[in-house]
Copies of this chain bind each other. A is one copy, B any other.
Amino acid sequence: MTEHVVDLLGVLAYTELTAFSRLAADAEHAPALAERMAMADLAAGQYRHFHLLTARIVELGARPQDAMAPYVASVDAYHDRTRPNGWPERLVKAYVGDEINSDFYRELAIHVDSATAALVEEVVTDSAGLDVIAQLIRSAVEADPRLAGRLALWARRLVGEALSQAQRIVIDRDALAVLLVGDLDLPADDLNRMTRVLGRLTDRHTDRLRVLGLAP
Contact = CB atoms under 8 A, between A and B. Distances in A.
Contacts of A17: 27, 36-37, 40
B40 A20 contact: yes
Interface of A: 17-18, 20-22, 24-25, 27-28, 32-34, 36-37, 40, 43-44, 47-48, 50-51, 54, 64-65, 68-69, 72
Contacts of A21: 24-25, 27-28, 40
Nearest to A36: B17
A18 B21 CA distance: 13
Given A21-B24, A21-B25, A65 B37 contact: yes
A144 B65 CA distance: 24
A14 B178 CA distance: 46
A37 B25 contact: no
Contacts of A64: 33, 37
Contacts of A44: 20, 44, 47-48, 51
A87 to B, nearest CB: 14
Nearest to A51: B44
A51 B47 CA distance: 14
A106 to B, nearest CB: 25
Contacts of A32: 65
Contact of A33 (B25, B34, B47, B69): B69
Contacts of A43: 20, 24, 47
A9 to B, nearest CB: 14
Contact of A40 (B28, B33, B37, B50): B50
A198 to B, nearest CB: 29
A102 to B, nearest CB: 20
A39 to B, nearest CB: 9
Nearest to A16: B40
18 contacts: A17-B27, A17-B36, A20-B24, A20-B40, A21-B24, A24-B24, A24-B25, A24-B43, A25-B25, A33-B69, A33-B72, A34-B65, A37-B54, A37-B64, A43-B47, A44-B44, A44-B47, A47-B47
